[in-house]
């Protein structure tokens, strides 16, 4: 009966052929879990083709870093909801081939295990595959963690889990500290409440890069749902090992290295309101700030671990709305600064008072520039960075992060290296620098050095002598890494690094906005803006792909009267970075305009949208900064509006 209805829906063009194929794949599974068959019956009988197409139009892609998707559908079936209350986590995740559910999660887990097992064999390592798993506060996060751990153990591995939610950077640290071969964090970062994700890490504590990413993706593609069906039966999976509190203490100790001058923080403590926006941020960030003498007030309404993120429309610290409650608390408590972390606390947003005592949210580019300037000046003052060794220190940033950081680096004589979007590329460079240092010390000195156990400034000296020392890695989307004991952006460490920068400004009688103006007077005004266009549902992905393709078939030649003088399309490959290292093929287009502005276009890897990054700058005008700001911002606004309108037209014609 259900097949007849599905066939008719395809004939009448209500149901996509790809959706039909993927539903039939589910129907062929034996034994088909009751909640799956009942959910399919309900959706088909209701002829809810839009929901069915959204859930089944494709297979949820396992990308190079993992996958994200809906766990709660626009429509929750009776079987999925079970006996749960309204607003609570349903009993089962959304049935579908394009949703993150029990099926797709276990398929990803098996793919990661099979690759790690194969890799260990090629390394002649007779070891049991070891995995660390963390999760945030989202719907199904705890359940998915137990499923991943159970499947890993079932296949012969050793799985370690935390006793509750933890931040993503703590997972990265613990992989390295526990000498695990891989890691998984169940999170969708700042995505809407209905999403969740499976984020995969390698033994270095960083997200997967080549060749490991392609190896796991290949394994994922070869696994069918029928292979993991037995694991869905009640009691089929064992449990992982719960990590002791000593692992939390180890990470807490590592965070000390995010601070260059603890005395500065103690003597000039900033007054901060911190909000975890219902996520994991309060678990490590707040105690670390308190330990360093920072005056921290909390936002009671957002301190609860809430998978619905009930107090905000989006748990994204990039959004001023997400910090609005914290700003109200700051006004009441007469605090000068506001910080907010996303659900898995790998990113931090910052708001500061202006000259009218109103709060202004800084961009990720502005915060990264302030941290970079402070840390380089502090290390110069400590004589860690000298004229003779400055080139052995580096700032890392992504292509889509402000070029102001490059100018700051040049002023101090240190390197600035650009990487593709994603912290894994910067983590890969940090790992290579560390490996080079170890090898050179072994060859030249005949000794082995454990850099992770070395004191902070001793480690900096060793890396600068034998390789390269990274002072800061940063991306425009509020992600920063101020130390090297973690290999992903770290909101907890960033909270400390930002607080130290604020302490420095307090000590010299300045403010973040004054300091930014000082940088603009010195290097020229820099202004960045991002335009996002969303295309949801089954048709959305095709629209985004076609839109990007249109820029290759019909390239932009002029925008708002400014000529495009250079186009770099990274899909072709063949590009190298500042060190001569090959840049992988990327779905990324970079445009340079004849007014020294630039634009980057790329489809998001985690959300159904295309992103346009706009970069504007002017020559230094210390006596006319206000006019320079007005001119650059007006031009960027005009260009942004034009790009969005042009994109809408292109989307309609594709």
Residues 63-75 pLDDT 10s: 767 899 999 999 9
pLDDT band at 605 (very low <50, low <70, confident <90, very high): confident
Nearest to 231 by CA among 31, 21, 461: 31
| CA distance linking residue 408 with residue 44, whole number of Å | 59
Domain boundaries of the chain, sorted by first residue: 2-243, 255-362, 366-486, 524-653
- State pLDDT tens for residues 249-264: 999 999 999 999 999 9
Retrieve residue 227's tokens.
């292979």
Nearest to 418 by CA among 173, 616, 565, 590: 590
| CA distance linking residue 75 with residue 99, whole number of Å | 13
> Taking residues 524-534, what's their average pLDDT?
95
Q: Which helix (H) or strand (E) holds 373?
A: helix 364-381
Q: Which helix (H) or strand (E) holds 416?
A: strand 415-419
pLDDT band at 15 (very low <50, low <70, confident <90, very high): very high
User: For 608, what's the count of Cα atoms within 13 Å in the CB-facing half-sphere?
Assistant: 17
Q: Which helix (H) or strand (E) holds 202?
A: strand 195-202
Mean pLDDT value across the chain: 95
Q: Is the pLDDT of residue 580 over 80?
A: yes
- State pLDDT tens for residues 221-240: 999 999 999 999 888 899 99
CA distance readout (Å), 223 to 25, 105, 199, 220, 286: 13, 12, 18, 5, 42
User: CATH assignment of 366-486, given 2.40.170, 3.40.120, 3.40.50, 3.30.70?
Assistant: 3.40.120
Q: Is the pLDDT of residue 653 over 70?
A: no
Nearest to 368 by CA among 360, 380, 376, 358: 376
Residue in this structure with the two tokens 């093929």, named with its chain if needed: 585
**CATH class of segment(s) 255-362:** alpha beta
Same fold, 2-243 and 524-653: no
Residue 280: strand, helix, or coil: coil
CA distance readout (Å), 195 to 71, 225, 314, 364, 406: 5, 21, 12, 24, 36
| CA distance linking residue 496 with residue 482, whole number of Å | 9
- State pLDDT tens for residues 452-492: 999 999 999 999 999 999 999 999 999 999 999 999 999 99
User: For 302, what's the count of Cα atoms within 13 Å in the CB-facing half-sphere?
Assistant: 34
| CA distance linking residue 57 with residue 21, whole number of Å | 9
Tell me the three-class secondary structure of 539-558, residue by residue: HHHHHHHHHHHHHHHCCCCE
Q: What share of the chain is helix, strand, coil (3-state, %, to 5)?
A: 45, 20, 35
CA distance readout (Å), 465 to 137, 257, 443: 43, 19, 14
> Taking residues 6-27, what's their average pLDDT?
94
Q: Is the pLDDT of residue 654 over 60?
A: no
Retrieve residue 162's tokens.
């935390």
- Domain covering 524-653, topology: TATA-Binding Protein (3.30.310)
Q: What percent of the chain has pLDDT over 70?
A: 99
| CA distance linking residue 76 with residue 88, whole number of Å | 12
> Taking residues 290-311, what's their average pLDDT?
96
Contact by Cβ (8 Å): 539, 641: no
- State pLDDT tens for residues 236-289: 899 999 999 999 999 999 999 999 999 999 999 999 999 999 999 999 999 999
Q: What CATH architecture is 2-243?
A: 3-Layer(aba) Sandwich (3.40)
> Taking residues 569-583, what's their average pLDDT?
92
Ranges assigned E (strand) in 438-584? 469-475, 479-481, 526-534, 558-559, 562-569
CA distance readout (Å), 549 to 499, 542, 609: 44, 10, 15
Interaxial angle between packed helices 456-466 and 423-445, expressed in degrees from 0 to 180 and rounded to the nearest 10: 80
Please compute Rg for the chain using Cα positions: 25
């Amino acid at each position: 009966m259900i097949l007849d209805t599905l066939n008719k829906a395809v004939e009448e063009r209500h149901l996509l052929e790809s959706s039909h194929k993927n539903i039939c794949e589910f129907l062929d599974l034996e034994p088909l879990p009751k909640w799956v068959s009942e959910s399919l019956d309900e959706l088909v009988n209701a002829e809810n083709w839009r929901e069915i197409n959204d859930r089944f139009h494709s297979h949820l892609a396992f990308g190079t870093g993992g996958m994200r998707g809906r766990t709660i559908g626009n429509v929750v079936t009776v079987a999925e909801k079970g006996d749960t209350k309204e607003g609570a986590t349903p009993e089962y995740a959304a049935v579908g081939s394009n949703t993150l559910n029990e099926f797709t999660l276990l398929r990803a887990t098996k793919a990661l295990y099979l690759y790690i097992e194969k890799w260990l064999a090629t390394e002649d390592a007779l070891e049991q595959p070891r995995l660390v798993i963390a999760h945030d506060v989202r719907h199904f996060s705890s359940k998915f963690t137990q499923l991943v751990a159970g499947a890993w153990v079932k296949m012969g591995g050793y799985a370690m889990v935390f006793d509750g939610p933890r931040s993503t950077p703590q997972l990265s640290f613990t992989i390295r500290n526990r000498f695990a071969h891989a890691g998984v964090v169940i999170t969708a970062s700042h995505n809407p409440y209905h999403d969740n994700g499976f984020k995969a890490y390698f033994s270095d504590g960083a997200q997967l890069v080549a060749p490991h990413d392609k190896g796991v993706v290949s394994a994922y593609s070869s696994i069918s749902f029928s292979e993991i069906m037995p694991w869905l039966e009640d009691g089929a999976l064992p449990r992982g090992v719960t990590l002791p509190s000593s692992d939390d203490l180890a990470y807490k100790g590592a965070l000390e290295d995010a601070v260059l001058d603890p005395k500065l923080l103690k003597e000039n403590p900033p007054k901060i309101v911190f909000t975890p926006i219902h996520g994991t941020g309060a678990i490590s960030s707040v105690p670390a700030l308190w330990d360093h003498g920072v005056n921290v007030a909390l936002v009671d309404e957002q301190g609860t671990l809430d998978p619905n993120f009930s107090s905000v429309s989006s748990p994204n610290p990039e959004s001023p709305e997400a910090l609005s409650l914290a700003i109200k608390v700051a006004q009441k408590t007469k605090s000068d600064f506001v910080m907010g972390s996303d659900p898995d606390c790998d990113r931090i947003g910052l708001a500061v008072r202006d000259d009218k005592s109103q709060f202004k949210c800084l961009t990720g580019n502005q915060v990264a520039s302030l941290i970079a300037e402070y840390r380089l000046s502090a290390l110069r003052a400590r004589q860690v960075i000298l004229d003779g060794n400055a080139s052995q220190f580096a700032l890392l940033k992504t292509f889509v992060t402000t070029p102001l950081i490059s100018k700051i680096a040049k002023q101090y004589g240190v390197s600035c290296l650009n990487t593709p979007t994603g912290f894994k590329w910067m983590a890969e460079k940090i790992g290579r620098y560390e490996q080079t240092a170890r090898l050179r010390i072994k060859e030249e000195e005949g000794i082995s050095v454990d850099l992770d156990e070395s004191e902070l400034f001793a480690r900096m000296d060793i890396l600068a002598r034998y390789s390269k020392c990274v002072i800061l890695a940063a991306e425009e989307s509020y992600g920063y890494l101020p130390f090297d004991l973690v290999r992903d952006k770290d909101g907890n460490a960033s909270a400390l690094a930002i607080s130290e920068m604020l302490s420095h400004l307090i000590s010299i009688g300045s403010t973040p906005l004054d300091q930014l103006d000082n940088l603009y007077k010195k290097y020229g005004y820099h202004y960045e803006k991002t335009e996002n266009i969303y295309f949801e549902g089954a048709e959305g992905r095709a629209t985004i792909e076609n839109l990007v393709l249109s820029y290759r078939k019909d390239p932009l030649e002029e925008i708002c009267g400014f000529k495009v003088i250079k186009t770099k399309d990274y899909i072709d490959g063949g590009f190298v970075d500042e060190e001569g290292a090959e840049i992988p093929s990327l779905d990324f287009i970079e445009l340079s305009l004849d007014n020294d502005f630039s634009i980057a276009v790329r489809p998001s890897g985690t959300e159904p949208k295309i992103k346009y990054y706009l970069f504007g700058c002017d020559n230094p005008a210390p006596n006319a900064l206000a006019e320079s700001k007005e001119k650059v911002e007006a031009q960027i606004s005009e260009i942004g509006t034009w790009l969005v309108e042009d994109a809408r037209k292109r989307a309609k014609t594709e």
